[in-house]
Amino acid sequence: MFENVRRRPDSLHEAFAVYLRDQFGWQSFQAPDKIKEALSHVSEVSLWQSVAGWITHHREQAVSPGEVQDMLRKIVNRRNKIAHEADRDPERTDAKRSITANEASEAVDTIDLVARAIVHVIGPPPAVPDLPAEENLDEKTVGVSGSAKDALYRNFWSRFTSIAKQNGWSKAAPTTYNWFQMPSGIAGVNWVVSFSKFGCRSELYFGDSDGGRNLSRWQALADRRDEITGRFGGSLIVDDLPGKKGCRIETRLLGPTVEDEEHWADVLRWMTDTQSRLRAAVGDLSVLKFLESH
């Protein structure tokens, strides 16, 4: 990232934003410790103490930092049991745990209350400073940036989302990010198409918060790389991304950027074709679930 900004007239702000999305985009911030860790990157406030103070003031009922965190942990734990254990009752394996409408509403209200408290104690984002004169290059030099680039991404992905819906890949709305993620049916594993510094990428990405799980899932497919590459009918990069938690199996298209609107049709055809062939080449991902159950 540093070399690209130093050698080419890229915007440092834009390059760093892409870097942050790569670092944090696959992570989950649900547990209180993870929420605190994430927000520590943008604020020095004593998070849970400040949140507890705000809630105490607005509810006129004292609540401690520990109680706020316990409320969140209870919700997250129940969510995990629903998502990962089918909410089975450990005492009666043929039944689910009981849950009432009031309990569900209370969970929603608690999340809303804590979120509003966090927004208040963190405060608004700081104003973006003006670029120094030497960085304030004309648009033709640095390319489209800021809201204009966001609009380009939204327009491009609005076209791809129509294709994704037609193929049954995703029902998600267009984004302003440089990537578009689609579910694989397995938590932490996603099909992704994106723009990158070298051009475009089409991939199967292993982005679970557990790096060891990503590696074992990736390895199960990497062991079949010759078979998968043969079925794909083209070059594939099977990369365990040393030093990072994530892993990927990808193919690349060198050159195009989102600013090249005249080439969007070609890029869309490439993304559609490579996603179709990659999914067919990899096949049924249920083997990954079988792998973890044994």
* Average pLDDT of adjacent 10-residue blocks, the chain of 294 residues: 67 74 79 90 89 85 90 91 88 86 91 91 70 38 57 92 93 88 88 92 90 89 92 91 88 92 93 96 81 57
Quote the CA–CA distance of 68 and 63 in Å, as a whole number. Answer: 7
Cβ atoms of 275 and 204 within 8 Å: the answer is no
Q: Tokens for 38, please give them.
A: 């994430």
* Alpha-carbon separation of residue 176 from 147, 154, 191, 194, 228 (angstroms): 9, 5, 18, 11, 32
Crossing angle of helices 101-122/32-39, nearest 10°?
20
Provide the pLDDT for residue 290: 63
Q: Could you give the angle at the alpha carbon of 23 between the alpha carbons of 20 and 24, nearest 5°? A: 85
Stated pTM of the model: 0.52
Provide the pLDDT for residue 132: 44
Through-space distance between the first and last CA atoms of the chain, rounded to whole angstroms: 40
- Dihedrals phi, psi of 287, to nearest 5 degrees: -60, -30
Burial of 88 (0-12, 13-18, 19+ CB in 10 A): middle
Quote the CA–CA distance of 182 and 172 in Å, as a whole number. Answer: 8
Sequence-ordered list of residues with C-beta below 8 angstroms from that of 288, at least 6 positions apart, any chain: 186, 189, 217, 220
Provide the pLDDT for residue 253: 93
Provide the pLDDT for residue 127: 63
Q: Tokens for 174, please give them.
A: 């267009």
Distance of CA 202 to the CA centre of its chain: 15
Provide the pLDDT for residue 292: 60
Ranges assigned E (strand) in 38-106: 88-89, 92-96
Give, for 231, the enclosing helix (H) or strand (E): helix 225-232
Cβ atoms of 88 and 96 within 8 Å: the answer is yes
Return the SS3 of 26: coil
Q: Quickly count: other Cβ atoms within 10 Å of residue 238's Cβ.
A: 18
